[in-house]
Amino acid sequence: MIRLDKYLADMGVGTRQEVKRYIRKGSVSVDGKTVKAPEQKIDGETQRVAVDGQEIGYAAYEYYMLNKPAGVISATEDQRDRTVIDLIGDRKRKDLFPAGRLDKDTEGLLLITNDGQLAHRLLSPRRHVDKTYYARIRGRVTEEDVGSFAHGVNIGSGEAQEWTAPGVLEIIAGGEESEILLTIQEGKYHQVKRMFEAVGKEVAYLRRERMGTLTLDRDLKPGEYRPLTAEELALLKAL
């Protein structure tokens, strides 16, 4: 059971105070009957709520897979730049956030949700959740680099050392601009870029392909999104 005013505020109808005004002036109905008490408790799963005749469905949690485009920041709001939340046009909840972050110029898989418990399980270092990235690298990636990444590399600067946990580096194509897949279980600041800088190379393009059991949908173009399927969500929650 949930208060009527909280139900409507959660669904983005307005602020809590705005919603209370709508209710008191008779704009809100529950199961077809006008209700003027903001504190009235309702069952969000079985009862039908409408504002000025438009039904407002309730979603306690939302889960979206986004193919993040370059140039968009992984934040809930920003004064200058477009955020990943701005891309979710038909969201019901106003409390969505990105589960983890991708650099502004990085593309790929990002989970958008308001489920804080699930996000914590995915991001906690103690959970050892794999994150796989595709990258194009300026410079020839070698088997020596594969070995270095397998042991962990020092991404610190100057005399300050900062060692990464072991990562799995796979060379897809060699050459002056190599193509690779890298799987890591951490999320240090600019980690993938700093790992390659540590072995004298530079990331030219970076895209996250996978996070735990969730794999980027190839049908999603950069900037596009979709709700998670029931199977995807169940697998994530089982991690």
Catalytic residue list contains 103: yes
Bridge partners of residue 154, in order along the sequence: 163
Instruction: Compute the chain's Rg from CA coordinates.
Output: 22
Place of tokens 């979206």: 64
Q: Which of 86, 95, 103, 217 is catalytic?
A: 103
Which residues are paired to 64 by β-bridges?
112, 227
> Cα-flanking dihedrals φ and ψ of residue 77, to 5°?
-160, 155
Token pair in block for residue 133: 């990235």
Collect all residues with Cβ–Cβ distance below 8 Å to 214 and sequence separation of at least 6.
Answer: 65, 109, 111, 228, 232, 235, 236
d(CA 224, CA 239): 26
Q: Which residue shows structure tokens 């300050």? A: 160
Residues classed as catalytic = 103
